[in-house]
Structure 1
Amino acid sequence: MKTHNIEINPHQLNAYGEAEVEKIIKHELCHYHLHLAKKGYQHRDPDFKALLKQVGGSRYCKSLPDQGKKRVLPYRYKLVCQTCKTVYMRKRKVDPRRYRCGKCRGELKLTTV
């Protein structure tokens, strides 16, 4: 924790109402209190789990309803063989100089989708 600011997403209030935002605030205040008390304030710490249960905060906030619609394609990059034009779809960016085509051993060129 670099600052002691608590930020709450206003979309949570619009989507789920005051009761859910109250649980989120309790969750964040548990982090804050335990950090100042120099106890385990992370999600995995027993101190955090016990205090959260005691005050009735939520362990996880609910996902916003429109979050799943943003991902259209799982692949962001494609490698294209310069010889046989075979296409390899990739989620992560790679250095094409380190790889060759699996079919013809030709050079690959990286492009974004």
Structure 2
Amino acid sequence: MSEDYAQTRGLLTLWTPGDVQVQLSEHLRKMRKDRKLSRRKLAEMSGVPEPTIKRFETTGQISLRQFLLLWGRLDQLDDLRRFLMEEKPKAPKSLLDFFEKEEKG
């Protein structure tokens, strides 16, 4: 992850946006295979072209709209929305913040 990205977001993380893209594509590919769906069948069900599904599964590249169309066919969009709406614990901005909280708590 670039230092600029982490600093502008005020986050301490080891994950890059690319890492998350790959994880999302692997997760959806696993769900597709668990349901024994071919890319062609998923394309028919979702309206996302088969070559786009293949590109997403191999590179992680896809538009947000197409990602949501696939997610909606393989999982529940409501689950994704609920995850986005739930309050998350605040991450420490630095290791110093983390250790200071540990000492107090």
Q: Which has the larger radius of gyration?
A: 1
More strand by percentage:
1
The structure whose RCO (Cα within 8 Å, separation 6+) is larger is 2
TM-score range, shorter chain: under 0.3
TM-score (norm 2): 0.27
More helix by percentage:
2
TM-score (norm 1): 0.25
